[in-house]
Amino acid sequence: MPEWLLVGAAVGLVAVLVGLWFGGNTPAQLWGTAGGGAGIALRQGDGGSPRMGQKKPFERLPQDVNPTNYALRLQPDLEKFKFTGKEVISVQVQKATDKVVMNSVDITIATATFRAENSTKGKDMATSNIQFNKENETVTLSFPSALPTGAGELTLEFEGELNDKMKGFYRSKYTSPDGQDRFCAVTQFEATDARRAFPCWDEPARKATFDVTLVVPKDRVALSNMNVVEEKPVPSRDDLREVRYAQTPIMSTYLLAFVVGEYDYVEGKDADGVLVRVYTPVGKKEQGKFALEVAVKTLPFYKEYFKIPYPLPKIDLIAIADFAAGAMENWGLVTYRETALLIDPENSSSHAKQWVALVVGHELAHQWFGNLVTMEWWTHLWLNEGFASWIEYLCVDFCLPEYDIWTQFVSTDYTGALKLDALTNSHPIEVPVGHPDEVDEIFDTISYSKGASVIRMLHDFIGDEDFRKGMNLYLTKFMYKNTFTEDLWASLGEASGKPVDKIMSTWTKQMGFPVLEVSAKQEGTSRVLKIKQSKFCAEGPSEDDSSLWMVPVSISTSQSPSTAVKTLLLDQRETTVTIDNVNPDDWVKLNPGTVGFYRTQYSKDMLDRLLPAIKDQSLPPRDRLGIQNDLFALAKSGVASTVDILRVMEAFVNESNYTVWSDLSANIGSLSTLLSGADCYPNFKLFVQDLFKVVGEKLGWEPKDGEGHLDAMLRSIVLSHLGKYGHQATIAEANQRLGDHISGTRTLPADLRGPVYATVLRHGDEKTYEKMLEILRKADLHEEKVRILRSLGSVSQPELIQRVLEFALSSEVRSQDTVFVIGGATSSLKGRELAWKFVQDRWDELHTRYQGGFLLARLVQFSTSGFVEESRAREVEEFFKRHPAPAAERTVQQSCENIRLNAAWLARDAASISEYLSTRPKL
């Protein structure tokens, strides 16, 4: 998701590091087909195979036996890291068969029996013919004769491991208040890991109800999706109790959850009386209050928006110490990384607070969109994630309007999606998914951020009133059922009377997006625009592209900067539009608010009229941001000059908006990566110092009266850049303030810690590094630990960078954070070289740790995508030919493409950039 806070060398690294440091969106990223032997009719877009390499053959589970209810009893052992289980599954046998095929991984089934509903007592049919297929993650129970059609019960007894892989039913290590190492048992089932906890039909369309019973230590908290209906002692064990929960609604297996551990909580009720609890580590309940406030406001907001009440009697939000993703929307029991849920009033930054609000909004939206109505197969994952990634902003804008969160959407989700989707190795929003190995790859920026961006565009096109009506139609019609993308379009089309399906299929079923070339001529008091669409490619214009989109286009003018004076649907290659009442000196702009998912390439005279409006800030912030970002992308693709974008950046010297600076900073990071090995890099650093000095002097180090949330975030980003690029006064002040912080003379405010830590480390020595390790080891708040961990890689000396990389794999760093410590080391040229070598040298260990999860793809991205030499692209390709990583295959291709794009960019513009930087007048 979402979301993104670190200042790093490369924009891609910045975005992903920031998002995942503070939680990341929900984990689900899978892609597979709805074909095979499932007996389910394919809808358009569900068939076929991905465009990448050869994928494993895959069939969905047979439909001859279907579950309707699981009575599930589990007993985790928190000392031996095992669990035992028994389940009685109510099934419907659709046709007589002697085989039952289910999903199961790393589970040993001891007994399996079947009883038909009408059979006499003692007529149970047992089997010991139990065959596991590890490749397909299935188990086949072969019975001595055919199971009769109709209702029956399948009873299984089994045992499994509480693994340390952060998936399935797993163990998480934490430290008790008295300093003891303890373990809790938690779950992470999305996308296909419920099968690691109990044999089941682990596909989203195979919905059932669940009756969960947990046998747990008496002194542990035990949670599941529903409320507790009975607790009683275990007769043979004084130290255990049995906890039974109410039956769940009909739902998918990936949404089931249970947690057993030590927790405190804070609680409240929303306006409708729904019990809301936020569970925290023991002794830290105060850190759950902010998330509780947001959640209590959010549930009624969604009820009003969807016109459907939250359907469960309670909802728990719980912080998990070891958690691979940012959060997971289990129905009624939402699990989070600590950094995505806990806020310390004294030690949490403004950005951390904002991140918690967004993630809470995202996960609670899923309680309706995803849980109540669920995608039929992982091909339609984007329905869950894209929608939740859009509406989380709507929710936070309602709860915390001072965050100006929609402007931030443009600099995080929108521009990040445009950048990735311009690559040859992007993919459509809807990606055919088959084997479980494939699923993790599509938990990516396209499913989340492009999905959110095209929904935002559609919402703007049909209007909020009709959008709400359509959402209510959709959720009401498919309540407790499964859907395809086309079902959503049909409901929104019915509510709005507009051809939603035709428009949106051009955005979800084909890869990429358009660039609109626009030129203008004055005719009296009118401006006549010629608009032409073509596919935007990161490598430059394509001569033979036949892609065509149905593009909602809005147009504003200097007389109406915030409101469109003209709207149209561009459904052909080009068109001509006349705008009345425009003076010769007025500017005309496409895409006010930067809502349409496209780039705009203006003629020189149109752009020249817009630039003064950037400098005097008469253009709204989202439009200033959009113009700069489009120009940067055009320069990177070779359509415009990089020198021109440097000149445009100088027009932002008086900029006051946090989000505009955030986006500028990301693009400066990309230029820094490009130029870090070039002779002109010292002059580039001076250019960046000049760009940030004016706003830095205005802000200073201390908050002023009347400052708010966004000023604190802007100060952080400005000081980070001044420190990184060598501004001596900033470096000196950072060292002074860290010294005061360590000595206890003056505590560093949370918003300043990130920039101070990174600045001091970058310009420090081994003693500085040891000081930071000491602060890390004393820190109690996980957010503070993460803040330091992500800063450690800022060190400059090769021997210290190597120490950071080794430290990343030490027992002092949780597995969930290791990838980002390594990524932090790539903020310098030497760091990128050492990090890539380290990943190659330790590949077996890293691959074993992260195999089959999306963190592996992040590791590949961080360690490879920042290079700028063709030889490095070949080196990366050769390494992954020798060391295949199916879960990161697309990421490898994207990284190599980015390396080659960087190499071409540097070769094309290095000389002109160098000349400009050496001769430019000082700001």
Burial 708-744 (b: 16+ CB within 10 A, else e): ebbbbbbbbbbbbbbbbbbbeebbebbbebbeebeee
Return d(Cα 913, Cα 923) in angstroms, integer.
Answer: 17
Cα 902 to Cα 414, 682, 781: the distances in Å are 22, 19, 39
- Asked whether the CA dihedral 562, 566, 569, 571 is positive or negative, the reply is negative
Provide the residue count of the chain. Answer: 923
Give the DSSP H or E segment for 880.
helix 870-882
| Ordered DSSP codes for 424-442 | TT---SS-BB-SGGGGGGG
Annotation-wise, does 351 bind a ligand? no
Provide the 8-state DSSP code for 60: P
Q: In Å, how far are 82, 111, 207 from 69, measured between CA atoms?
A: 25, 19, 9
* Angle of the 289-306 helix axis to the 350-366 helix axis, nearest 10: 40
User: Cα separation of 374 and 388, whole Å?
Assistant: 13
Find the helix packing angle between 815-824 and 854-864, rounded to 10°: 10
Q: What one-character DSSP code corresponds to residue 410? A: I
Give, as one character, the DSSP assignment of residue 62.
P
Question: What does the block give as tokens for 826?
Answer: 């790539």
Whether the Cβ atoms of residue 260 and residue 214 lie closer than 8 Å to each other: yes
Q: Pick the catalytic residue: 190, 329, 363, 889?
A: 363
Residue 883 labelled as part of a binding site:
no
Bridge partners, residue 466, by sequence? none
Residue from 591, 380, 645, 612 nearest 504 by CA? 380
Q: What's the CA gap between 546 and 107, in Å, rounded?
A: 50
Sign of CA dihedral 341, 346, 347, 353: positive
CB 443 within 8 A of CB 855: no
The Cα 598–Cα 596 span in angstroms is 6
Q: Is residue 362 part of an annotated ligand binding site?
A: yes
Alpha-carbon distance of 207 to 254, in angstroms, equals 10
Q: Where are the beta strands (DSSP E) in 688-805?
A: none
DSSP per residue, 306-373: HT----SSEEEEEEESS-SSSEE--TTEEEEEGGGT---TTT--HHHHHHHHHHHHHHHHHTTBTTTB
Residues 6 or more apart whose CB falls under 8 angstroms from that of 411 comprise 625, 659, 660, 662, 663, 666
Are 481 and 40 in contact by the 8 Å Cβ rule? The answer is no
DSSP conformation letters of 382-401? HHHHHHHHHHHHHHHHHH-G
Pick the closest to residue 191 from 385, 405, 361, 357 (CA basis): 385
CA distance 871 to 677: 15
- The residue type of 334 is V
577 Cβ neighbours under 8 A, 6+ residues apart: 528, 529, 531, 555, 566, 568
Rounded Cα distance, 197 and 207, in Å: 17
* Cβ count near 230 (within 10 Å): 10
Euclidean distance between CA atoms 349 and 449, whole angstroms: 24
How many Cβ atoms sit within 10 Å of the Cβ of residue 401? 10
Q: How far apart are CA 181 and CA 739, in angstroms?
A: 32
363 part of the active site: yes
Number of C-beta neighbours around residue 746 at 10 A: 11
Pick out the residues of the known binding site for Zn(2+).
362, 366, 385
Q: What amino acid positions are annotated as catalytic residues?
A: 363
Pick out the residues of the known binding site.
362, 366, 385
